[in-house]
Each structure stands twice: as C-alpha cells, then as structure tokens.
Structure 1
Amino acid sequence: MRVFLETEQLVLRPFTDTVADAAHLFALDNDPDVMRFINGGRPASREAIRARALPRLLHDYPCFRTRGYWAAEEKATRTFLGWFEFRPLDGHGPAVVELGYRLNKAAWGKGYATEGSRALISKGFTDLGVERVTANTMAVNTRSRRVMEKAGLSFLREFTGDWPEAIAGSEHGEVEYELVRADWERRRQPAPGA
C-alpha cells in the first residue's frame, strides 16, 4: 500500500474503498468519546460511512496532486489509529489548508496527534506550497487545542459556529488556530550565536 508520509511512530497512507477501511471508520465514528466534540457522541450507520464519510476521505485535490485525508497507522504494528486531515480550503490552490485529526481512544495521550500534525505541516510548507495552516475546534475541547499548540499553531480567534444541532459545549463557541509559513520558518532557524 502506498505511503504518503512516515514519522517515527506513524505511517500515513491514502484511504481505500475497501471493507477494511470502512470497518475502521465505522468503529472510530461509533465511539461516543471520539465523537463527543464532533456530533455529541451520536453513532453513525454503516451506510453513512460508505455514502458520506469514505467518499470525502477518498477525494483528490488537484492543486495538491494528492488527497487531503490520510489513514493513520502505528508504524510498528500497522494498527489503524484514525485519520489526519490536511486539505486545501480552496480546492483551486494550496495556499491555505485545514489541519484536523480523529484518533481512536487507544491512541490518545501517546503524542500521535502532535507528531502527525507536525509532519504534515512540515510537508505542507516544504513540498506542497502551503502558506497558512488553520485548525478549528470547540472552545471546550482542551485536548485538541493542546495538540494545535504543541504542533506550532497559535490561537487566532473565538467564533460562534452554525451548529445544525447543538451539542454539549457548543454554547461556548469555537476557536481557530493558525500557523503561517514565515513563523514556521523563523522557528526552524537556529538562534543567533547557537
């Protein structure tokens, strides 16, 4: 299977239209803890995974010459952990991308989300022509906000999203974080005299 990106602990690969990937997504999207800040923890049907979720994850972005979502596997065991999103917000150009991640509970607290995010950001700025990375979450989602910060993004703003159906915590709004290429490059430069 083709590998998009490897890190010390992870392999990011394109999703496939297979029973195995559909089953992985079904299990992931049916864990109420994983989905708490997405839809309030409501389960997804197998049909919804096949008809809506999987096609979105299989979409190619011509401006990237690749996909915008990747299955994440533990490198040592090739165990499915979840997925990462790094897709252009404007399908015609790679200047601004959205970073996201959804990992199963067994993968939480092991640094996978930060490691995968940093690797995608680096690839975006060095190989894909990205100028700005943005990420959003509910204001109360402290774990995801911490990952964004550890990956190098900075708080940009609070805003109120248009939730079709309110879920616990949505009354506190959402937050956006960002990282621009110039800041990323500056942080990579050695300190003077170092």
Structure 2
Amino acid sequence: METERLTLRPLQPSDVDELRRLHADPEVMRFLDPAPVEDYLGPSFHAAVEKASGRFVGWFEFKPVGEGVVELGYRLHREFWGRGYATEGGKALIERGFTTGEVQRVVATTMAVNAGSRRVMEKCGLRHVRTFHVDWDEPLPGAEYGEVEYALTKEEWQQG
C-alpha cells in the first residue's frame, strides 16, 4: 500500500533490528509498555518506509479487535515526528479498511497525557469517546490521568 510519501508493507523478520532500535528509544516508548518484538510480526502490523529515502519510519497497526472493529496504532522513529507521517499512514489504513473490508469502526487508545498521539487520532478523524482508568502493575508516569479512547465509525467517515 502506498501513500504520497510512504510505503506500507507487512512487517517482516528482516525488520527486527529496526523494531528493536525503535523500541529502544525512551522517548518513543515514554507512554507505552514494551512487548516482545516478535509480537509485531503478525498480519496486523505494517512497516512504514519513506519512499524518497527508503528509510524505516516505524510501524502501523490495524488489528481486528471485534466484529467489524479494528484498532489503529502507530509508532515512529523520533526523527520522523512532526512531519505528518503518522496521520498520513493512519488515514490511509482507515480509508482502506472502510472501503475494501468489513470494517465498521476504528478505535485507538493512548494515555490521556500523550498529546501528540491524541492529535494524530483527531487528524485521522477519530473523536474522543471516553477516558478510563486501568490498574497497571507498574504504572508509567502520567497514568494517574487515565487512558483515552478515540473512535470513528464508517458512517461518520463517509459523512466527513
């Protein structure tokens, strides 16, 4: 799948070193719990590669979480923050999901204090649905403010 500036393709075992480098950046992981890199090599995860340079930008998740519901996620190398890549990739996956699949609703969650990710969700057309609290074994700084859920339905997207 291609956007104006990105190629999105399935993550592959050959991407493991890039994934480890991405997940080793404390600023990238500031609002996230780490998971084993191998967890990202499933069909729901897409490598984002910058078309102009061929560089690994990060990854996008578009994972089924219920009947007709998918979860949007993303994680980019810091050097690519602020360039609109997260919004570009997110919008492309949402459009493909609503136009070619059985997707009826897209959801995304983040920590309430993660303003950057919340902006991306909003730019992708998702709206704030709720704030909720989770009891984490080892809460990250800011966890006391809760988590937020954003969502977009196919009908809202079509009207947008």
> TM-score under structure 1 normalisation?
0.80
1:88-167 alignment, distance < 5 Å: 88-90=64-66, 93=67, 95-167=68-140
The one-letter amino acid paired with 1:9 is: R
Displaced runs of 4 or more, over 3 A? none
Higher RCO, 1 vs 2 (CA within 8 Å, ≥6 residues apart): 2
The match for 1:86 is 62
Q: 2:32 aligns with which of 27, 34, 38?
A: 38
Identity within the alignment, %: 52
User: 1:58 Cα deviation (Å)?
Assistant: 2.2
Tell me the CA shift for residue 16 of structure 1: 1.2
Aligned length: 160
Q: How many Å separate the matches in 1 of 2:41 and 2:55?
A: 20
Matched, 1:6 2:2: yes
Per-residue deviation, residues 49-76 of structure 1 (Å, max 9, x unmatched): xxx322x2222xxxxxxx2110111011
Task: Confirm or deny: 8 A CA contact 2:22 2:58 kept in the other structure.
Answer: yes
Is residue 48 of structure 2 the alignment partner of residue 72 of structure 1?
yes
TM-score (norm 2): 0.96
Q: What does 1:43-62 align with in structure 2 at a 5 Å threshold?
A: 52-54=36-38, 56-59=39-42
Structure 1 SS opposite 2:47: strand
SS of the equivalent of 1:31 reads coil
Q: State the one-letter code of the partner of 2:37.
A: A
Whichever residue aligns with residue 11 of structure 1, its letter is T
In structure 2, distance between residues paired with 1:37 and 1:175? 12
Deviations 1:73-104 (CA, angstroms, capped at 9, x unpaired) = 101111001100001003xx4x0000000001
Cα distance in 1 for residues equivalent to 2:53 and 2:18? 15
Q: 2:145 aligns with which of 163, 166, 172?
A: 172
Which of 1 and 2 has greater Rg? 1
Q: Distance in 2 between matches of 1:31 and 1:153?
A: 27
Question: Pick from 16, 23, 32: which aligns with 2:17?
Answer: 23
CA RMSD in angstroms comes to 1.2
